[in-house]
Amino acid sequence: MNPGIDLQGTFIESVRGFGIPPGAARALWLPLPMLIMLVAATVSVLVLVWLERKISAAAQQRIGPEFIGPLGILAPLADGLKLVFKEDTTPSKADGLLFTLGPAIVVIPVFLSYLIVPFGQNLIVADVGMGVFLWIALSSIVPIGLLMSGYASNNKYSLLGGLRAAAQSISYELPLALSVLAIVMMSNSLSTVDIVQQQSGYGILGWNIWRQPVGFLIFWIAALAECERIPFDLPEAEEELVAGYQTEYSGMKFALFYLGSYVNLTLSALLFAVLYLGGWEFPVSVSTIANLIGVSENTPWLQVSLATLGITMTLLKAYFLVFIAILMRWTVPRVRIDQLLDLGWKFLLPVSLVNLLLTAGLKLAFPIAFGG
């Protein structure tokens, strides 16, 4: 387990040094993590859009964006500015209230889910004891916003896209939840921090990916379906539905859908890294690192270095998964809607149930290896 720093205590003590009372210092701290999270998530979307363009270009033997900033890094920012200043229109026969609420209901639960993501030791906005359950509950709200947007647009393509989105989310939420439940059972906790700490001590050999090989495949497939990434982008299939539930949207409302899609992909990659790849843990244990460089684990500079590297490890694992998701866009063909639903209900759901029962049996038979 990597050492960490109490950021809240450090901030409050620093502010009190300027003569501010403890209560006011705590009040200043409360919105700060949320603001940092929102800014970080938005910046990650800009990075993700740039990566998608560059990786897609490489997969197609193209160059990609080059001239808007060095290597085209300002192209996503130009996209964002364009959407901000673009005219925001509402169809004359649309339901105005639902049409406006739909994008917000899609985006807000995704941002709230970042509350329970541990980027490093003690680097989490809210270490909720029921963190995994909170994430599953929040993710179940998103299909309501998609269906609402498709219905409110008064467009047949939008309605079909909304119906597909709702059916797809319901179909893949169950296997996703069951695969995560197997991890919870092994970790004896619903806290994401406890799940990471349960994987520490043995380096890469202690990661859950080795104890849950079936579960991690189910989680990844279901996460791609939840994020509506190719080959599961049926709700917004351009060749069939124009843009699905997004067809009638423009300006900032469309930007919210665009933002939510990439934020959700980043969130899924981060949670995959936390649940299956040890989160901030290194491929070798901390004690091994300390022995190799000949210092004690409690050395202050080593603690700070490991805490910083822990954040880097979490992000590297997450962005590796993002790279795989982008690469799949250009290597795997889109499935049909009947194939999509058959995969969820007839294959992933039974397999995830069997995996959960097998995990329970192995936990009873081998309690040490399976977290008993």
Please check whether residue 360 is in contact with residue 183, taking contact to mean a CB–CB distance below 8 angstroms: no
pTM (2 decimals)?
Answer: 0.86
Q: What is the pLDDT of residue 179?
A: 93
Tokens 């996460």, residue? 223
In this structure, which amino acid lies at residue 350?
P
Q: What is the pLDDT along the chain (372 residues), one digit of tens a residue?
A: 334 445 566 666 666 666 677 777 677 767 777 787 888 888 888 888 888 888 989 888 888 888 888 888 888 888 888 888 888 888 888 888 888 888 889 888 988 888 888 887 777 877 888 889 899 999 888 888 888 888 888 888 888 888 888 888 888 999 999 999 999 998 888 888 889 888 877 778 888 998 899 999 999 999 999 888 888 888 777 777 777 788 888 888 888 888 888 899 999 999 999 999 988 888 776 666 767 777 766 676 667 777 778 888 889 999 999 999 999 888 888 888 889 899 989 999 999 999 999 998 888 887 766 665
Q: How far apart are CA 56 and CA 49, in angstroms?
A: 10
Please provide residue 120's backbone torsions phi and psi, each rounded to the nearest 5 degrees: -170, 180
Q: What is the pLDDT of residue 2?
A: 39
In this structure, which amino acid lies at residue 26?
R
